[in-house]
């Protein structure tokens, strides 16, 4: 199905909802009242006929508080991994209890970048999600930060959520934030205007993103949300940025008509969507202007158009294809 306005979210068949640390955790403690109302929001989506997946941050923040770690557990990789290991238990328990109050069973899935970059493991994750959803379960997903390293991790759950939406063949991905959506400039500036609909992620749209999460708890800002939008919309999945600070935030955003909806482009094949969304290419090929135009027109890449190579890769490895200006044109094996 094709979503063209926020109100269409209520008709979606399969929805992924991403919730950041700043919404779920405050002062090292879970905002259980907010979570209770959020669970009610998800139950309402279920009652409307949707299958729901949650991508939830918060494990590191919860674990850091329990271990009394400095800098919210992000002072070192070892601290973050230890905090995640402790916090995942607390996070899973919170979601299990909140959803159980609505008669919904929760499942936990911890994923790494490698799980969704490797084709076989990606398909296994997709199969697990399908089976859980068929069983009426709400999967609650987080990055497995207890084993992920700086070199092999998503780094933020916005992009993880986009890859999960791909694997689940979702209709829409909802990113809950601490602002109403994408603004044409820093929303703290006078005259900043909310952008209600984005039809294409042009350089002008990408330039609107700036700064990181104001809370200091999460690792994603508007830049990561637009990166997630690129992954999702190229796979034919709509994406909406909504203000998650309200009680029952999804219902509030839909009632107010407030948020930013990124329209999907024509859905690619499942394999092309997976390739286009992969985040860790082994190398880069830089091509001349003529080759770049040919690729945009759907032509194949010819060796004659390659003017530069970087990285170390072998047959079958993922590489990115860049224009002379550094614009990413394609990814392939």
pLDDT in tens, 1-27: 678 899 999 999 999 999 999 999 998
Most confident region among 65-79, 184-198, 315-329 by mean pLDDT: 65-79
Nearest to residue 273, comparing CAs of 115, 131, 116, 152?
Answer: 116
pLDDT of residue 218: 44
Most confident region among 148-152, 167-171, 268-272 by mean pLDDT: 167-171
The whole-number average pLDDT for the span 228-249 is: 94
- Checking if the pLDDT of 212 tops 70, the result is no
pLDDT of residue 289: 86
Same domain for 86 and 173, yes or no, is yes
Same domain for 257 and 135, yes or no, is yes
C-alpha distances (whole Å) from 271 to each of 10, 178, 296, 330 are 28, 34, 18, 13
* pTM of this structure: 0.81
How many Å apart are CA 164 and CA 160, to the nearest integer? Answer: 6
The reply to whether 234 falls in a domain is: yes
H or E element: which one contains 262? strand 260-262
Same domain for 189 and 117, yes or no, is yes
pLDDT of residue 255: 94
C-alpha distances (whole Å) from 189 to each of 5, 126, 178, 193, 194 are 27, 42, 16, 10, 12
| Helix ranges, the chain (H) | 21-24, 32-47, 59-67, 77-100, 113-117, 119-134, 157-167, 203-206, 222-234, 249-256, 270-277, 289-296
The reply to whether 85 falls in a domain is: yes
pLDDT of residue 270: 53
The whole-number average pLDDT for the span 272-289 is: 73
pLDDT of residue 275: 64
pLDDT of residue 253: 94
Same domain for 14 and 54, yes or no, is yes
Query: The domain spanning residue 196 has which CATH number?
Result: 3.40.1160.10
Give residue-wise pLDDT tens across range 246-264: 989 999 999 999 999 999 9
The reply to whether 208 falls in a domain is: yes
Nearest to residue 268, comparing CAs of 233, 301, 300, 239?
Answer: 233
Model confidence at 313, pLDDT cuts 50, 70, 90, reads: confident
The reply to whether 276 falls in a domain is: no
pLDDT of residue 226: 94
How many Å apart are CA 270 and CA 274, to the nearest integer? Answer: 6
- Checking if the pLDDT of 208 tops 80, the result is yes
How many Å from the N-terminal Cα to the C-terminal Cα in the chain? 30
Could you tell me what percent of the chain has a pLDDT over 70?
Answer: 90
Domain final residue pick, 271, 297, 315: 271
Model confidence at 211, pLDDT cuts 50, 70, 90, reads: very low
pLDDT of residue 216: 44
* Domain that includes residue 52, residue range: 6-271
- Checking if the pLDDT of 152 tops 60, the result is no
The reply to whether 226 falls in a domain is: yes
Higher-pLDDT residue of 322, 176: 176
Same domain for 141 and 228, yes or no, is yes
pLDDT of residue 186: 83
Query: The domain spanning residue 302 has which CATH number?
Result: 2.30.130.10
Angle at 31 between CA 30 and CA 35, to 5 degrees: 105
pLDDT of residue 217: 44
pLDDT of residue 327: 82
How many Å apart are CA 78 and CA 24, to the nearest integer? Answer: 23
Q: What is the DSSP string of 147-178?
A: T--GGGS-SSHHHHHHHHHHHTT-SEEEEEES
How many Å apart are CA 131 and CA 137, to the nearest integer? Answer: 9
Contact between 308 and 323 under an 8 Å Cβ cutoff? The reply is no
Q: What is the DSSP string of 17-53?
A: EEE-HHHHEETTEE-HHHHHHHHHHHHHHHHTT-EEE
Which two tokens mark 330? 């394609």
How many Å apart are CA 232 and CA 245, to the nearest integer? Answer: 23
- Checking if the pLDDT of 213 tops 90, the result is no
How many Å apart are CA 17 and CA 9, to the nearest integer? Answer: 11
Domain final residue pick, 224, 249, 271: 271
Higher-pLDDT residue of 299, 257: 257
Same domain for 30 and 92, yes or no, is yes
C-alpha distances (whole Å) from 265 to each of 25, 114, 202 are 35, 26, 13
The reply to whether 1 falls in a domain is: no
Same domain for 85 and 228, yes or no, is yes
Same domain for 248 and 306, yes or no, is no
Work out the mean pLDDT of the chain and round it to a whole number: 88
Contacts of 269 (CB under 8 A, 6+ apart): none
Higher-pLDDT residue of 214, 266: 266
pLDDT of residue 67: 97
Same domain for 179 and 263, yes or no, is yes
pLDDT of residue 294: 83
Same domain for 143 and 205, yes or no, is yes
Same domain for 168 and 109, yes or no, is yes
Contact between 102 and 109 under an 8 Å Cβ cutoff? The reply is no
pLDDT of residue 329: 83
How many Å apart are CA 64 and CA 75, to the nearest integer? Answer: 10
How many Å apart are CA 158 and CA 226, to the nearest integer? Answer: 9
Question: What's the structural domain count of the chain?
Answer: 2
The reply to whether 126 falls in a domain is: yes
pLDDT of residue 84: 95
The reply to whether 178 falls in a domain is: yes
Nearest to residue 108, comparing CAs of 66, 58, 69?
Answer: 58
Same domain for 87 and 223, yes or no, is yes
Domain final residue pick, 226, 251, 271: 271
Contacts of 226 (CB under 8 A, 6+ apart): 182, 201, 205, 206, 209
The whole-number average pLDDT for the span 216-226 is: 70
């Amino acid at each position: 199905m094709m979503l063209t306005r926020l109100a269409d979210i209520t008709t979606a068949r399969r929805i992924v909802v991403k919730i950041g640390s700043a919404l779920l955790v405050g002062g090292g403690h879970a905002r259980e009242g907010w979570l209770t109302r959020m669970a009610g929001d998800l139950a309402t989506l279920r009652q409307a006929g949707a299958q729901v997946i949650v991508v939830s941050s918060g494990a590191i923040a919860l674990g850091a508080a329990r271990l009394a770690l400095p800098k919210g557990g992000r002072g070192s990789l070892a601290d973050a991994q230890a905090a995640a290991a402790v916090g995942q238990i607390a996070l899973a328990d919170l979601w299990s209890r909140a959803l159980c109050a609505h008669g919904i069973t929760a499942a936990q899935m911890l994923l790494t970048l490698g799980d969704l970059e490797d084709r076989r493991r990606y398909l296994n994750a997709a199969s697990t999600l399908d089976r859980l959803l068929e069983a009426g379960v709400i999967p609650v997903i987080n990055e497995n930060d207890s084993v992920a390293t700086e070199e092999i991790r998503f780094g933020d759950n916005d992009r993880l959520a986009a890859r999960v939406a791909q694997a689940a063949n979702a209709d829409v991905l909802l990113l809950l934030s601490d602002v109403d959506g994408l603004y044409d400039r820093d929303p703290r500036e006078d005259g900043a205007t909310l952008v209600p609909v984005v039809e294409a992620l042009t350089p002008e749209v990408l330039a609107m993103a700036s700064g990181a999460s104001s809370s200091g708890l999460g690792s994603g800002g508007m830049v990561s949300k637009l990166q997630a939008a690129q992954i999702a919309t190229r796979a034919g999945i709509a994406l909406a940025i909504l203000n998650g600070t309200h009680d029952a935030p999804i219902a509030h955003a839909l009632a107010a008509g407030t948020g930013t909806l990124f329209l999907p482009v024509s859905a690619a094949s499942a394999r092309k969507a997976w390739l286009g969304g992969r985040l860790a290419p082994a190398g880069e090929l830089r091509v001349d202007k003529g080759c770049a135009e040919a690729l945009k027109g759907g032509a194949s890449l010819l060796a004659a158009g390659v003017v530069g190579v970087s990285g170390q890769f072998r047959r079958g490895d993922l590489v990115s294809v860049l224009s002379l200006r550094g614009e990413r044109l394609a990814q392939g094996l």
